[in-house]
Structure 1
Amino acid sequence: MTVSHTPTTTPPTTSTPGSAHLPPAGWHPGSWQDRPAAQQPDWPDPRVLRRTTEALALQPPLVLPDEILGLRRELAGVAAGEGFLLQAGDCAERFASCTEDDVRGKLRVILQLAILLTFGAGLPVVKVGRIAGQFGKPRSRPTETVDGVELPAFRGDIVNGPEFTPEARRPDAERLLRGYHHSSAALNVLRALTLGGFADLDQVHAWNQEFVRRSAAGRRYEKAADDITWALRFMSACGVDTGAQPELHQARLYTSHEALLPHYEQALTRYDENRRAWFDTSAHLVWIGDRTRQLDGAHVELLSGIANPLGIKVGPSTAPDELRALCERLDPHRTPGRLVLISRMGAGRVGDLLPPLLRAVGDAGHLPVWTCDPMHGNTFVSDSGYKTRRLSDITAEVTDFFAAHAREGTHPGGVHLELTGDDVTECLGGDLDEVVDETLGTRYETACDPRLNAAQSLELAFRMGDILRAHLGGPA
Structure 2
Amino acid sequence: MRNLDAWRGLPAAQQPEWHDPAELSSVLDELSQLPPLVFAGECDQLKDRLAAAQRGESFVLQGGDCAETFAGATASAVQNKLKTLLQMAVVLTYAAQVPVVKIGRMAGQFAKPRSSPDETSDGVTLPAYRGDAVNGFEFTAESRRPDPRRLIRAYHSSATILNLCRAFANGGYADLRQVHAWNQDFVATSPAGKDYEHLASEIDRALAFMRACKAEPAEVHTVEFWSSHEALLLDYESALTRVDPRTSWPYAVSAHMVWIGERTRQLDHAHLEWASRIRNPLGVKLGPSTTPDDALAIIERLNPSAEPGRLTFVTRMGADRVRDTLPLLVEKVTASGAPVTWVCDPMHGNTFRSPSGYKTRRVDDIFDEVTGFFEVHRALRTHPGGIHIEFTGDEVTECVGGGHGLLEADLHHRYETVCDPRLNRRQSLDLAFKVAELYRLST
Q: TM-score, normalised by structure 2?
A: 0.99
Deviations, residues 144-181 of structure 1 (Å, cap 9, x unaligned): 01111110000000000011111000000111111001
Q: Does 1:214 align with 2:214?
A: no
**How many residue pairs align between the two structures?**
443
Match of 2:278 in 1: 306
SS class of match (1:464): helix
Query: How far is 1:319 from its partner?
Result: 1.0
Q: Distance in 2 between matches of 1:165 and 1:193?
A: 37
Match of 1:22 in 2: none
Matches within 5 A, 1:114-129: 114-129=89-104
Q: Does 1:328 align with 2:328?
A: no
Once the two structures are overlaid, the 10-residue window that deviates more, 192-201 or 27-36, is 27-36
Instruction: Mark the runs of 5 or more structure 2 residues left unpaired by the alignment.
Output: none
SS class of match (2:183): coil
Match of 2:245 in 1: 273
Query: How far is 1:275 from its partner?
Result: 1.1
Q: Distance in 1 between matches of 2:247 and 2:207?
A: 40
Q: Does 1:453 align with 2:428?
A: no
1:53 counterpart letter in structure 2: L
**% identical equivalent positions:** 54
Counterpart selection for 1:194 from 126, 150, 169: 169
Deviations, residues 170-204 of structure 1 (Å, cap 9, x unaligned): 00011111100100111111111111000000101
Matches within 5 A, 1:390-409: 390-409=362-381
Match of 1:438 in 2: 409
The structure 1 segments of at least 4 consecutive aligned residues displaced by more than 3 Å after TM superposition are none
Deviations, residues 3-62 of structure 1 (Å, cap 9, x unaligned): xxxxxxxx4xxxxxxxxxxxxxxx422111001000111111111111101100000000
Q: Does 1:381 align with 2:381?
A: no
Q: Distance in 1 between matches of 2:179 and 2:3?
A: 46
Deviations, residues 285-338 of structure 1 (Å, cap 9, x unaligned): 000000000001110000001000000000011111011101110000000000
Match of 1:93 in 2: 68
1:170 counterpart letter in structure 2: R
Q: Distance in 2 between matches of 1:267 and 1:318?
A: 31
Match of 2:382 in 1: 410
Q: Does 1:318 align with 2:293?
A: no
Q: Does 1:131 align with 2:102?
A: no
Counterpart selection for 2:211 from 218, 236, 247: 236
Match of 1:65 in 2: 40
SS class of match (1:377): coil
Q: Distance in 1 between matches of 2:257 and 2:355?
A: 37
Once the two structures are overlaid, the 10-residue window that deviates more, 265-274 or 203-212, is 203-212
Q: Does 1:75 align with 2:50?
A: yes
Q: Does 1:148 align with 2:123?
A: yes
Q: Distance in 2 between matches of 1:190 and 1:127?
A: 12
SS class of match (1:287): strand
Instruction: Mark the CA change 1:217 to 1:424 in structure 2 (over 3 Å): closer, same or farther.
Output: same
SS class of match (1:127): strand
Deviations, residues 93-128 of structure 1 (Å, cap 9, x unaligned): 000111110110110000000010000111100000
Once the two structures are overlaid, the 10-residue window that deviates more, 438-447 or 206-215, is 206-215
SS class of match (2:34): coil
Match of 2:312 in 1: 340
Query: How far is 1:262 from its partner?
Result: 0.4
SS class of match (1:264): helix
SS class of match (2:62): strand
> Cα RMSD between the aligned structures?
0.8
2:143 counterpart letter in structure 1: A
Q: Distance in 1 between matches of 2:403 and 2:85?
A: 20
Q: Distance in 2 between matches of 1:268 and 1:237?
A: 48
Q: Distance in 2 between matches of 1:373 and 1:333?
A: 26
Match of 1:176 in 2: 151
2:241 counterpart letter in structure 1: T
Q: Distance in 2 between matches of 1:413 and 1:209?
A: 31
Match of 1:471 in 2: 442
Counterpart selection for 2:334 from 362, 376, 396: 362
Query: How far is 1:238 from its partner?
Result: 2.7
SS class of match (2:398): coil
Q: Distance in 2 between matches of 1:113 and 1:45?
A: 44
Instruction: Mark the runs of 5 or more structure 1 residues left unpaired by the alignment.
Output: 1-10, 12-26
2:393 counterpart letter in structure 1: G
Q: Distance in 1 between matches of 2:214 and 2:106?
A: 39
SS class of match (1:371): strand
Q: Distance in 2 between matches of 1:314 and 1:281?
A: 24
Match of 2:218 in 1: 246
Q: Distance in 2 between matches of 1:219 and 1:295?
A: 48
Q: Distance in 2 between matches of 1:109 and 1:392?
A: 20
Query: How far is 1:364 from its partner?
Result: 2.0
2:426 counterpart letter in structure 1: A
Query: How far is 1:438 from its partner?
Result: 0.8
Q: Distance in 2 between matches of 1:213 and 1:95?
A: 30
Query: How far is 1:359 from its partner?
Result: 1.7
Match of 2:16 in 1: 41
Q: TM-score, normalised by structure 1?
A: 0.92
Q: Does 1:53 align with 2:28?
A: yes
Counterpart selection for 1:295 from 263, 267, 271: 267
Query: How far is 1:209 from its partner?
Result: 4.4
